[in-house]
Chains A and B, each alone.
Chain A
Amino acid sequence: MDPCTHEWSICNVRHGYLVEEFCFECGGRRSLFSIEPVPPTEEYREGRHYWAYLASCQTVKFDLKCEACGRIVSLNDVNGLMLSECIDSTCQVGALVSQQGPGSLVYVAICPNTTHSTGKCVSSEGIEALNEYFKAKLAPVGRKVTVVPCKLCNSIDKCRGTSIADVGLTDIQ
């Protein structure tokens, strides 16, 4: 058991683009983070996949550092956060959303490959650190959030929620 009661703060802030790609061969979707001045839009082959650009948006990535013990938790495998408004009771995230009380919300941490074909999602230590960070930040104002990995969603592509991304922000003007 970790003896430190961590005091997380944000570190290693990176500004860039979240680029979403689609594979013509397998129909898969994935996203990558680019720090290029202009987001890459080229199509390319990678093994049996042929990836094509779908969309991009400006975003910020960061890691968490414990001010008490100096430990840094990489959040490189978090490509975004989505406030879940899932109402599907057969979905683990939807069930969790329905259990929340006033002032308590559920956010989904989205990994780069939401098909989870490789079996990977956001690391458990990343999820734990994010929950501890937001708990410490929000408890004094009486709010609470629970962060869960996107592998708990029945289908992240069909999930009802609000992604925190700088895309489509003027669509409803």
Chain B
Amino acid sequence: MKVSELVEKTGLKAINEYKDSEVESVYISDMVSDLIASAKANCLVITLQTHKSLIAAANLVAAAMIVIVNGRKPSEDVVALANRTGIGLFSYDQDSWTFAKQLVKLGFE
């Protein structure tokens, strides 16, 4: 599923300009070091972290997009780094589980 389609169907709010790439998997983690060892390329990362370290890790796994839950917003330097990497940053008002259930309904397993 394309990033744009996901945004449209789940009500995500885009934080930066994003590349409309294909999302192939989902990984939920609030540990950035864990992302490097476990997340797959072209994945959607669900997290409540907003630290710059998150972008540094997500870039290494070729993540397609990051969804920051609970309505949290990253600072400007975090968004600037995401722009350099081309990773789409999105905000979701509710918690990780609520968003995960939406993804399952859309066919992610």
Contact = CB atoms under 8 A, between A and B. Distances in A.
B62 A162 contact: no
A58 B33 contact: yes
Given A163-B53, A169-B49, A137 B37 contact: no
Contacts of A58: 31, 33
Nearest to A103: B86
A105 B86 contact: no
A142 B86 contact: yes
Given A140-B41, A173-B50, A105 B84 contact: yes
Interface residues of A, number: 32
B3 to A, nearest CB: 12
B33 A60 contact: yes
B85 A105 contact: yes
A51 interface: no
Contacts of A169: 30, 32, 49, 51, 53-54
Interface in B25-67: 30-34, 36-38, 41-42, 49-57, 59-62, 64
Contacts of B30: 169
Interface of B: 21, 30-34, 36-38, 41-42, 49-57, 59-62, 64, 72, 75, 81, 84-86
27 contacts: A13-B37, A13-B38, A15-B34, A58-B33, A59-B33, A60-B36, A103-B85, A105-B59, A105-B85, A107-B56, A137-B61, A138-B59, A138-B60, A138-B62, A141-B62, A143-B59, A143-B85, A145-B60, A163-B56, A164-B33, A164-B36, A164-B60, A165-B33, A166-B33, A166-B53, A169-B32, A172-B75
